Amino acid sequence: MEDWALIRRLAAEGVPKSRIAERLGISRTTVIKAVNSDAPPRYVRTRGPTSFTEFEPHVRALLAEVPDMPATVLAERVGWTGSIRWFSDNVRRLRPEHRPVDPADRITWTVGDAAQCDLWFPPRRILLEDGTAKLLPVLVITAAHSRFVTGRMIPTRKTEDLLLGSWELIQQLGRVPRRLIWDNEPGIGRGTRRAEGVAAFMGTLATKLVLLPPRDPESKGVVERRNGWFETSFMPGRTFTSPADFNDQFTDWLGKANARVVRTIKAAPVDLIDADRAAMLPLPPIPLHLGWRNKIRLGRDYYVRLDTNDYSVDPNMIGRMVDVAADLDRVRIRLEGRVIAERQRVWARGMTITDPAHVEVAARLRRQFQQPRVRTGDGDDLVRDLADYDRAFGISDIEEIG
């Protein structure tokens, strides 16, 4: 390297090539090659045959059919008996040549056209009512054009809670995006299948549901990048005492986050959301009947079940048909349209929520049922005159046989 640099410097100064060769003790041909080359000389080892060479065509043939076939399986198929590490290194070199190419287009989001929906699972357990801690999903909806973000923590990934959360976040937007883009979330749908109630929800909003095919992350990259941003910008240093506390902190932080300039669009979401809303659809004029709904006959144990939890009801309603409904926060039990019980919804699993007044009523009714019935009179009222039966059957005028 040093000789090459010195040769080129001397040649640039006009020193004859023969003198350079004599001064450095090298041949004139070497000097000529150094002057004519654009890069310093380097040793390149000529690749020769190795123990893998005879197996390479067979490995390529298998990779052409199954590009992700593990190296251990390939070694077994081609009969390799040497070092598995050496074999794996060669397979790693060949594999990219046989994987299918998946180009990613740059997507332009028009005003009011779409909102991307996703579930984010914060990497921190949230304390629940029974003292346990659990990882809970956060539903996030991001307007694709303005990058305006709305989100809230929900109890489950079930369809009822997903639709309740979606409606709440859409109301925060104030308008309905023309398309709601989801990945293959079971509570919403997969492929051509829609979860029960999803089609009616989309129809009421007059919007279109788009379920993305597998391996298409670019079409939902706006919301997924924000999920990663939440973990690096919102989560560090925070503690949460309950789901409600998480939602309060998250909502407050989103207000500040939406005011920050997004590098890709060179604007803050709050500055673009009005134009986004203007191109969106209006909110439906009719109320949406969403959430958990069931109609059951109240059993002897006077409890109704909602998402693995049991809630007590007034025992006086035993045997009657009651309507059970719940949203993200409250559970309501109605009898003929009248609310007979209302409790805060519990997010923990397998709990029994009992009203002490219901226990007292049940004890009183049980004592009344177990008390023996008191007979009135001396029992003569059980004896009936046989003439009553004669008159009932129309034989009261038959003469008495002597």
CATH number (domain holding residue 198)? 3.30.420.10
Which domain does 76 fall in, by range? 55-97
CB 313 within 8 A of CB 322: yes
Let me know whether 132 and 171 are in one domain: yes
Interatomic CA distance for residues 201 and 195, integer angstroms: 11
According to DSSP, residue 5 is labeled H
Let me know whether 199 and 347 are in one domain: no
Q: What's the burial of 253, exposed, middle or buried (CB within 10 Å: 0-12/13-18/19+)?
A: middle
Looking at the domain assignment, is residue 319 inside a domain?
yes
Let me know whether 255 and 298 are in one domain: no
Looking at the domain assignment, is residue 48 inside a domain?
no
Looking at the domain assignment, is residue 167 inside a domain?
yes
Looking at the domain assignment, is residue 86 inside a domain?
yes
Looking at the domain assignment, is residue 87 inside a domain?
yes
pLDDT at position 58 is: 94
Let me know whether 314 and 347 are in one domain: yes
| Token pair belonging to 207 | 């919007």
Between strands 114-120 and 179-182, the pairing is parallel
Q: 228, 255, 279 — which closes off a domain?
A: 279
Closest to 90 (Cα-Cα) out of 68, 71, 66 = 71
Q: Kindly give the confidence (pLDDT) of every residue in the chain, 402 residues in length, as a single tens digit, with 9 standing for 90 and above.
A: 567 788 877 888 888 888 888 888 888 888 888 888 877 777 666 677 888 999 999 999 999 999 999 999 999 999 999 999 999 999 999 999 988 876 666 778 899 999 999 999 999 999 998 899 999 999 999 999 999 999 999 999 999 999 999 999 999 999 999 999 998 899 999 888 999 999 999 999 999 999 988 767 677 888 889 989 999 999 999 999 999 999 999 999 999 999 999 998 999 999 999 999 999 999 998 878 899 999 999 999 999 999 999 999 999 999 999 999 999 999 999 999 899 999 999 999 999 999 999 999 999 999 988 887 666 555 555 566 666 666 666 665 554 444
Strand ranges, E, within 242-317: 292-297, 303-306, 309-312
Looking at the domain assignment, is residue 380 inside a domain?
no
Looking at the DSSP assignment, which residues form a beta bridge with residue 119? Answer: 139
Interatomic CA distance for residues 99 and 77, integer angstroms: 19
pLDDT at position 44 is: 67
Interatomic CA distance for residues 20 and 23, integer angstroms: 5
Let me know whether 21 and 150 are in one domain: no
How many domains would you assign to the chain? Answer: 4
According to DSSP, residue 73 is labeled H
pLDDT at position 76 is: 94
Q: 220, 251, 279 — which closes off a domain?
A: 279
CB 11 within 8 A of CB 17: yes
Furthest-apart CA pair in the chain: how many Å? 170
Looking at the DSSP assignment, which residues form a beta bridge with residue 335? Answer: 338
Q: How many helices (H) and strands (E) does the chain have?
A: 13, 16
Strand ranges, E, within 179-335: 179-182, 189-190, 193-194, 208-211, 292-297, 303-306, 309-312, 321-326, 330-335
Closest to 304 (Cα-Cα) out of 212, 314, 265 = 314
Q: List C-alpha distances in Å: 294 to 148, 154, 305.
A: 36, 20, 10
| Token pair belonging to 266 | 């060179």
Let me know whether 118 and 66 are in one domain: no
Q: 249, 279, 309 — which closes off a domain?
A: 279
**Host H or E run for residue 88:** helix 84-94
Let me know whether 266 and 153 are in one domain: yes
Interatomic CA distance for residues 118 and 354, integer angstroms: 35
Interatomic CA distance for residues 246 and 352, integer angstroms: 24
CB 290 within 8 A of CB 205: no
Q: List C-alpha distances in Å: 60 to 15, 48, 90, 93, 220.
A: 55, 19, 11, 11, 35
Let me know whether 124 and 266 are in one domain: yes
- Give, rounded to a whole angstrom, the gap between the first and last alpha carbons of the chain: 152
Let me know whether 296 and 249 are in one domain: no
Closest to 227 (Cα-Cα) out of 154, 159, 137 = 137
Q: List C-alpha distances in Å: 363 to 84, 340, 366.
A: 74, 19, 5
Let me know whether 128 and 196 are in one domain: yes
Let me know whether 156 and 254 are in one domain: yes
Looking at the domain assignment, is residue 73 inside a domain?
yes
112: left (phi over 0), alpha (psi -120 to 50) or beta: left
One-letter amino acid for residue 399 of the chain = E
3-class state of residue 116 by DSSP: strand
Helix axes 84-94, 56-65, angle to 10 degrees: 60
Let me know whether 125 and 249 are in one domain: yes
pLDDT at position 402 is: 43
What predicted TM-score, i.e. pTM, was given to this entire model? 0.71
Looking at the domain assignment, is residue 246 inside a domain?
yes
Between strands 114-120 and 138-143, the pairing is antiparallel
